[in-house]
Chains A and B, each alone.
Chain A
Amino acid sequence: QKEVEQDPGPLSVPEGAIVSLNCTYSNSAFQYFMWYRQYSRKGPELLMYTYSSGNKEDGRFTAQVDKSSKYISLFIRDSQPSDSATYLCAMSAGNAGNMLTFGGGTRLMVKP
Chain B
Amino acid sequence: ETGVTQTPRHLVMGMTNKKSLKCEQHLGHNAMYWYKQSAKKPLELMFVYNFKEQTENNSVPSRFSPECPNSSHLFLHLHTLQPEDSALYLCASSQELVSTDTQYFGPGTRLTVL
Stretch at the interface among B12-20, B63-71, B79-87, B99-107: B99-107
A88 and B43 in contact, given A43-B90, A97-B55 (Cβ under 8 angstroms): yes
Give chain B residues whose Cβ lies under 8 Å from the Cβ of A46: 102-104
Q: How many A-B contacts at CB < 8 Å in the complex?
A: 65
Complexed CA–CA distance, A11 and B45 (Å): 26
A102 and B56 in contact, given A32-B99, A92-B99 (Cβ under 8 angstroms): no
Instruction: Let me know if A32 and B100 touch, CB within 8 A.
Output: yes
Instruction: Let me know if A100 and B98 touch, CB within 8 A.
Output: no
Interface size class of B (residues with CB under 8 A): 20 to 34
B106 — nearest CB in chain A belongs to which residue? A43
Q: Which of A1-60 contact B (CB under 8 A)?
A: 2, 4, 6, 8, 31-32, 36, 41-46, 49, 51
Instruction: Let me know if A41 and B107 touch, CB within 8 A.
Output: yes
Give chain B residues whose Cβ lies under 8 Å from the Cβ of A94: 99
**A98 smallest CB distance to B (angstroms):** 5
Q: Is the interface of A mostly helix, strand, loop or mixed?
A: loop
For the complex of A and B, the 10 pairs showing the least CB-CB separation, nearest first, are A43-B105, A94-B99, A102-B43, A97-B97, A102-B42, A104-B42, A92-B99, A32-B99, A44-B105, A98-B97
Given contacts A88-B43, A98-B48, 17 further A-B contacts (CB under 8 A): A8-B40, A41-B107, A43-B108, A44-B43, A44-B90, A45-B104, A46-B104, A90-B43, A94-B99, A97-B99, A98-B94, A98-B96, A101-B42, A102-B43, A103-B42, A104-B41, A104-B42
Q: What are 7 pairs between A and B in contact, CB < 8 Å? A: A36-B105, A45-B104, A97-B50, A98-B96, A100-B103, A104-B41, A104-B42
A-contacting residues of B (Cβ < 8 Å)? 4, 31, 40-43, 45, 48, 50, 55-56, 90, 92, 94, 96-108
B-contacting residues of A (Cβ < 8 Å)? 2, 4, 6, 8, 31-32, 36, 41-46, 49, 51, 88, 90, 92-94, 97-105
